[in-house]
Amino acid sequence: MTAVAAVLIAGTPALVGDVVLTDREGKRIDHAGKVYVVAPNVALGWSRNASLAVLALTRLREELSDGRIVSTEDLKRALDNLEDLRGRQNEDLDLTGWIVTPVGSKVVRWSSFHRPTMFCGEASDIGDGGGALRKMLATPVIGEGNTVGYDEAPMKVISGFLEARFEEALGGDDWPRTWGGAYDAIVYQEGFFRWLGKLTYVGWDVVLDSEDRITEVTQAPVVFTQEHVHGCTLMLAKRVGDGETDVKISYPIDRDFDLDWLDWYLLAARVDELDGHWLELHCGCGARVFYPAVALCASGCRGGSVWMVVVSGERGEGDPRRSASPSVVAGGRSHQREVAAEVAGEGRVRRERQRDERPRPSRC
């Protein structure tokens, strides 16, 4: 099944979806993208049967992805052309997402087994995990920091689904097997829907004594990076101190693709490694704390498992949106909806990146 949620974050349309594919018994069998940009101002996500999603999204992309801004009439006509996908035996399809026009943003809904209102409301979710994901994406408390303007909505989106990512990692078998793995996110900015490019998740275990004093801080054994590249989502997991990286790939279903680029890309990139000792963090209660005291604040917040996400989007040198430093969101398992943190100044996160110097192939 699936978790897809279309929500407004700081007044900005956002679409988030997991990447897990399951069989009819709910067993995880592969990964594929659940959310897509089908036009500059249209983003859609799917749930139910991948076989129908392939047909629907391929048609919509071919009809709407010529670079023009799509009107609600254009999108309605394209969705009406999916009528032949209704009523298929043992195959169902749910679609939801956003369209943004000069008159505002609207949630999009289409289904093969019923007829929901096509354009409506301010939020929607589909799939067995959609409701839970939508609740996690509810507007969090954001403290002081350097995330303003262009980056504010994406960082608030991340602070929602990072909860799902780490609850799954910490919960193990208690987490539903039908959704999760990683989360693709699309946010409407400056007239277009845009992907969140690259995220790295880092966690710590924090131990407090009976007087709430930190006695031990240990980095979690696995660092997880996801990156949207060539239409795919790469999921790289690396145990701290281990030279090997586990790689999984979530594939796009709305287009043909090849993996000619993958070998050199994996040689050129690695999971980000972080030195977080100079991170200044802000708790929802108003206290300002520093790592490794990230789990303790003036209001008596308790220790537990603490995590953060580093956003390392690669924007061009001439792009006015290029960040001066990476942004960070952090939260704690014991009070994850109260804690959000950001880097308070430049140069406080040291990221070491290993790049392969070989010439890249001309085809990718």
Whichever domain contains 11, its CATH number is 3.60.20.10
| pLDDT value at residue 308 | 54
List the structure tokens of 163.
């909860």
Apex 280 CA angle, 278 and 284, nearest 5: 155
| Residue 166: predicted pLDDT | 79
Please report, as a single letter, which amino acid is at residue 243.
Answer: G
User: Higher confidence at residue 335 or residue 267?
Assistant: 267
- Total H helices, total E strands in the chain: 5, 23
Looking at residue 345, its pLDDT comes to 27
What per-residue confidence (pLDDT) applies to 270? 55
In a domain, 362, yes or no: no
Examine residue 184 and state whether it is found in any structural domain, yes or no. no
Residues 169 and 202 in one domain: no
Choosing from 115, 140, 174, the residue where a domain stops is 174
Rounded CA separation 31/18 (Å): 9
Whether 192 maps to a domain, the answer reads no
Same domain, 151 and 211: no
143 and 202 assigned to the same domain: no
| 360 lies in some domain | no
Least Cα distance to 163 among 138, 145, 136, 185 occurs for 136
Q: Which residue has the higher pLDDT, 299 or 221?
A: 221
Choice among 75-84, 263-272, 321-330, 341-350 with the minimum mean pLDDT: 341-350
User: What average pLDDT does range 285-299 have in this prediction?
Assistant: 37
Question: Checking phi first, is residue 274 left (phi over 0); if not, alpha (psi -120 to 50) or beta?
Answer: beta
Task: Please enumerate in sequence order all residues whose Cβ is within 8 A of that of 354, keeping only pairs 6 or more positions apart, or say none.
Answer: 268, 269, 270
Q: Are 156 and 234 within one domain?
A: no
- On whether residue 357 sits in a domain, the answer given is no
pLDDT band at 321 (very low <50, low <70, confident <90, very high): very low
Domain annotation covers residue 183: no
Indicate the length of the chain as a whole number: 364
| One domain, residues 137 and 221 | no
CB 299 within 8 A of CB 287: yes
Q: Do 328 and 213 belong to one domain?
A: yes
pLDDT of residue 147: 52
Any bridge partners for residue 6, and if so which?
15, 124
* Res 261: pLDDT: 84
Alpha carbon distance 298, 334 (integer Å): 15
What share of the chain has pLDDT > 90, as a percent? 42
What CA–CA distance (Å, rounded) separates 183 from 196?
A: 10
Does the pLDDT at position 150 exceed 80?
A: no
Quote the percentage of the chain above a pLDDT of 70: 70
Exposed e or buried b for every residue in 33-60, given b needs 16+ CB within 10 A? bbbbbbbbbbbbbbbbbbebbbbbbebb
**114 CB-near residues (< 8 Å, 6+ apart):** none
Pairing mode, if any, of strands 305-311 and 273-275? unpaired
* Residue 118 pLDDT level (bands cut at 50, 70, 90): very high
122 C-beta neighbours (distance < 10 Å), count: 12
Q: In terms of Cα–Cα distance, which of 315, 252, 312 is closest to 44?
A: 252
The answer, yes or no, to whether residue 104 has pLDDT greater than 70, is yes
Whether residues 218 and 92 share a domain: the answer is: no
Best CA proximity match to 137, nearest among 1, 14, 310, 2 = 14
pLDDT at 48: 96
Same domain? For 72 and 120 the reply is yes
Q: Quick one: 137 and 228 in the same domain? A: no
Same domain, 208 and 141: no
In-domain check, residue 256? yes
d(CA 354, CA 212): 39
Instruction: Give the sign of the dihedral formed by CA 234, CA 335, CA 8, CA 26.
Output: positive
Residues 169 and 207 grouped into a single domain:
no
Residue 222's pLDDT is 81
Structure tokens at 71: 């009107």
Lowest mean pLDDT segment, chosen from 166-175, 196-205, 287-296 = 287-296
In a domain, 179, yes or no: no
Which H or E element spans position 53? Answer: helix 50-64
Q: Which domain holds residue 68?
A: 4-174
185: part of which helix (H) or strand (E)?
strand 183-189
Whether the pLDDT of residue 215 is over 50: the answer is: yes
Domain count, the chain: 2
Domain match, 328 and 250 both: yes
The predicted structure's pLDDT at residue 141:
53
Higher pLDDT pick, 114 / 204: 114
Task: Choose the final residue of a domain: 159, 174, 189.
Answer: 174
